[in-house]
């Protein structure tokens, strides 16, 4: 798949933002007043910023409101409904926490559930697609949710929990890569099934369907070299999980140094997840590529 920058920003930033909102809704960290305002401001900036970025890859952004009407059948519509619900409920919870120095627990719990539901519905937009075997597996929502929780715990300053969740997210990432590399071959999709001629015997392309490019080739047949892919995996895993875990485990002395290392861990994680998200799209092989002889 063509890794559009807007989609990478959307999946990276919104996941972190809603992950932080999840922990804030559960009272972590347990702060009120202006300190909590800073946490909510960061969470909303990431979540809303990511959602706004997602509109840039729409063909007709002015029709975005229509997406909310198909919640019975569309995961995209469910995502929009959950996101708006989470932001509204957490907004009420933030008012109590920031301005009234009180935590409305019920709003917090509901907002936390809706925040995690938003991440899940986002993941299902991709996991439901049988035409992309690398996405069409349970590890896709597991990866989105584990990334969101790990990043949210890291941003919320929950060091012990963040360390455990980063380890889990890293293992999920390795599992996703391992199973994802075999998903297309195990799906049973071939040139024969892509063209509908498989019942007549082995099928091979005599000539390409056409000599020029088209929308399908630009958007669904993005080829990334294996050597390039492996390097990016190492960078994404190292920055997204290994380095943050290392920085969290080292006992730094001094509050200033500790906060500085925590900030570096957050930035490292953000860059690593963005790299992982780029690979998530760039390595996703759509079955239409078989028709064009690209696999």
Q: Is the pLDDT of residue 293 over 70?
A: no
Domain range for residue 120? 5-291
DSSP the chain: ----HHHHHHHHHHHHHHHHHHHHHTTSS---HHHHHHHHHHHHHHHHHHHHHHGGG-S-GGGGGGGGGGTTT-HHHHHHHHHHHHHHHHHHHHHHHHHSS---HHHHHHHHHHHHHHHHHHHHHHHT-TT-TTTSSTHHHHHHHHHHHHHHHHHTT-HHHHHHHHHHHHHHHHHHHHHHHHHHHHTT--HHHHHT-GGGS----SS-S-SS--HHHHHH-----HHHHHHHHHHHHIIIIIHHHHHHHS---SHHHHHHHHHHHHHHHHHHHHHHHHHHHHT---THHHHTT--
Write out pLDDT tens, residues 187-244.
777 777 766 776 777 777 666 666 666 656 666 666 666 677 888 999 999 999 999 9
- Summarised one tens digit per residue, pLDDT across range 165-195 is 999 999 999 999 999 888 887 777 777 776 6
Quick one: pLDDT band at residue 70, thresholds 50, 70, 90?
confident
CATH code: domain of residue 217: 1.20.1630.10
Q: What is the pTM for the complete model shown?
A: 0.87
Please say if the pLDDT value at position 274 is more than 90: yes
* pLDDT given for residue 259 in this prediction: 80
Task: Report the pLDDT value the prediction gives residue 228, as an integer from 0 to 100.
Answer: 78
Highest-pLDDT range among 47-51, 111-115, 132-136? 111-115
Q: Is the pLDDT of residue 254 over 90?
A: no
Residues 288-292 have a mean pLDDT of 71
Q: What is the tally of structural domains in the chain?
A: 1
């Amino acid at each position: 798949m063509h890794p559009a920058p807007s989609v990478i920003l959307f999946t990276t930033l919104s996941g972190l933002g809603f992950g932080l909102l999840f922990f804030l809704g559960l009272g972590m960290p347990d702060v009120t007043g202006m300190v909590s305002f800073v946490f909510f401001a960061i969470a909303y900036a990431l979540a809303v910023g990511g959602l706004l970025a997602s509109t840039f890859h729409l063909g007709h952004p002015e029709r975005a409101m229509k997406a909310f009407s198909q919640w019975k059948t569309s995961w995209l519509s469910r995502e929009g409904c959950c996101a708006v619900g989470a932001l509204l409920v957490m907004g009420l919870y933030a008012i109590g926490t920031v301005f009234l120095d009180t935590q409305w627990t019920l709003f917090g719990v509901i907002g936390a559930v809706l925040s995690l539901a938003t991440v899940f519905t986002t993941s299902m937009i991709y996991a439901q697609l049988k035409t992309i075997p690398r996405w069409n597996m349970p590890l896709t929502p597991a990866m989105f949710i584990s990334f969101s929780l790990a990043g949210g715990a890291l941003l919320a300053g929950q060091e012990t929990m963040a360390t455990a969740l980063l380890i889990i997210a890293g293992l999920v990432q390795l599992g996703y890569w391992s199973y994802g590399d075999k998903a297309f071959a195990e799906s049973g999709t071939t040139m024969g099934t892509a063209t509908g001629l498989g019942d007549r015997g082995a099928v091979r392309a005599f000539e390409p369907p056409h000599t020029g490019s088209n929308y399908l080739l630009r958007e669904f047949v993005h080829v990334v070299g294996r050597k390039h892919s492996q390097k990016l995996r190492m960078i994404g895993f190292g920055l997204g999980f290994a380095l943050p875990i290392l920085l969290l485990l080292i006992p730094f002395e001094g509050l200033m140094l500790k906060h500085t290392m925590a900030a570096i861990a957050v930035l490292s994680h953000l860059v690593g997840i963005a790299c992982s998200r780029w690979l998530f799209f760039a390595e996703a092989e759509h079955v239409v590529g078989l028709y064009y002889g690209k696999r």
